[in-house]
Amino acid sequence: MELNVYLAGQIHDDWRKDIRDQAQTMDLPIQFTGPMENHDRSDNIGEEILGEQPDAIFKDEAASQLNNLRTEVLMQKADVVIALFGEKYKQWNSAMDAGSAVAMGKPLILIRPNELHHPTKELANKAQVVVETKEQALQALSYIFETQ
C-alpha cells in the first residue's frame, strides 16, 4: 500500500524537500505532492500562460486560477493533507486548503510552532493530528504503516 500526501503551506523555503528526503531515508511508501514551490513562478504563472493582465489584481486572479487548478487536482488524489504554518506570511491559502481538506474528508496533519497555538486553535481542533515539527508529522505518517 502506498499513500499520497499533499503538502499545503508556504513556498518560501525548502520544508517540503526536508520531508521528502526524510521520508526516503525512513523508506516510507509515500508519494508527496504540493503547490509550485518556485515562488516567482507561482506568482507569475497567470501572465506566463494567459498573457499580460490589466493590473496587479487581475494578474493575481490569473495566477490563482492555475495555482488552484493544481491544488484541486492534487488534493483530490491525496489520502492525507499536511499543512504547515509558521511565524511569517499571511498563509491564508494554506488555511483555506486545510479547511477544504477536512471538508473533503481528508485527514489533516497540522504542523505549527507551539507559539502559534492561539491563531491556529480552530485549525488545530479540525486537524486529526497536531504537531510542532516535520519529524513528528513523518512519525505520524510512519505509524500508519508500522506493525509493532
Find the helix or strand (DSSP H, E) in which 129 lies. Answer: strand 129-131
The verdict on 73 binding a second copy (CB under 8 A) reads yes
**What binding mask, one character per residue, do residues 17-46 give for a second copy by CB under 8 A, x or -?**
--------------x-x--xxx--x---x-
Of 9, 97, 111, 134, which one interacts with a second copy (CB under 8 A)? 97
Q: How far is the CB of 25 from a second copy (least distance, A)?
A: 17
Q: In what order do the strands lie in the sheet with 80-84?
A: 30-33, 3-9, 80-84, 108-111, 129-131
**What binding mask, one character per residue, do residues 43-72 give for a second copy by CB under 8 A, x or -?**
--x--xxx---xxxxx-xx-xxxxxxxxxx
Q: For residue 131, what are the β-bridge partners?
A: 111
